[in-house]
Amino acid sequence: MAIFDNHIHLRASFKGVEAAKAFEKSGGTAILLTHSPYAEVPITRADDYEKAYGLTLAMADAVRAATVLQVFVALGPYPVEFIDLRETLGREAAMDAMRRAIDLAADHIRERRAVAFGEIGRPHFPVDPDIVRACNEIVGYAMAQARSLECAVVLHTEDPTPTTFAEFAAMAARAGLDPKYVVKHHSTPFTRREDTAGLVPSILAKEELAAQALKGGPRFLLETDYIDDPRRPGAVLGPATVPKKTKAWLEKGLLTTEQASSIHHDLPEKTYRIEIN
């Protein structure tokens, strides 16, 4: 059975490959390795993203070399980085840096080194409304690129409500991107199409969230959002959580094999236009 973790971060500076091996040993078969900030590569200008993305791509290669896992990659400027860039560069220069980071990610997607933009979006905590507007513009820019590249966008935002889902669906529509290629990472357990406006929710692999999500059907992905940070070991969830929880839910009847196949195989394939073994 395919077991897919839709959102995981791995760092050579901490567990890295060993965390991937723990996922594999527990029955995991595929991951979306999602770019995130690195302390060793502070982002002060657009040119810094090339080196930062290089760390994520190198980690993907290291995991492939050490395991039999399928490793898919999402690249993009982490939205909170815009706040510091705006302070040091000014609003317009900061937005230009973020757009150039999207362009660089697009190059990697075009060359199939990555399959999605992510995680991009807006800060998950209250900020100046101008920051939200600027980040929304950057998301719209990425969505237009995603439409051209026929790829997905992975969103980092505040916890979504049906209104939030509708907002991002409208942004996708303006960009010409089908909402089925917009993934809401770290989502609340809304899964009915009328609640998600066609976006794809990605739910933390916690039983209470999965049980609630399944009430609307198995149209969701599972993730750990493991951040591989020595300051927060095991956060958000440990790297073996998705396979362990999936097996436990199958055994107790919370999840059927058909639902598991939809979550771990069918939906990831459709969302990211990939083939999962």
Q: Is residue 261 part of a domain?
A: yes
- pLDDT band of residue 227 (cuts 50, 70, 90) is very high
Strands 70-75 and 4-8: unpaired
Give the separation between CA 181 and CA 168, rounded to whole angstroms.
11
Inter-residue contact 63 to 106 (CB < 8 Å)? no
Tens digits of residue pLDDT in 97-125: 999 999 999 999 999 999 999 999 999 99
- What's residue 123's pLDDT? 97
Tens digits of residue pLDDT in 143-156: 999 999 999 999 99
Q: Is residue 225 part of a domain?
A: yes
> What pTM, to 2 d.p., does this model score?
0.97
Q: Which two tokens stand for residue 181?
A: 């290629």
Instruction: Please count the other Cβ atoms lying within 10 Å of the Cβ belonging to residue 177.
Output: 24
- What's residue 232's pLDDT? 94
Give the separation between CA 74 and CA 57, rounded to whole angstroms.
9
Give the separation between CA 266 and CA 152, rounded to whole angstroms.
15
The domain total for the chain is 1
Q: Is residue 13 part of a domain?
A: yes
Return the ∠ at Cα 275 (arms to 272 and 277), rounded to 5°.
135
Name which of 28, 24, 22, 37 is nearest 4 in CA terms.
28
Q: Is residue 277 part of a domain?
A: no
- pLDDT band of residue 173 (cuts 50, 70, 90) is very high
- The set of long-range contacts for 170-178, using a CB threshold of 8 Å and a minimum separation of 24, is 171/136, 171/139, 171/140, 171/143, 172/143, 172/199, 174/140, 174/143, 175/140, 175/143, 175/144, 175/146, 175/147, 176/144, 176/147, 177/143, 177/144, 177/146, 177/147, 177/153
Question: Domain of 163?
Answer: 4-272
Q: Is residue 90 part of a domain?
A: yes
CATH code assigned at 43: 3.20.20.140
- What's residue 262's pLDDT? 98
Q: Above pLDDT 70, what percent of the chain?
A: 100
- pLDDT band of residue 141 (cuts 50, 70, 90) is very high
Q: Is residue 133 part of a domain?
A: yes
- pLDDT band of residue 205 (cuts 50, 70, 90) is very high
- pLDDT band of residue 140 (cuts 50, 70, 90) is very high
Amino acid residing at 233: P
Q: Is residue 127 part of a domain?
A: yes
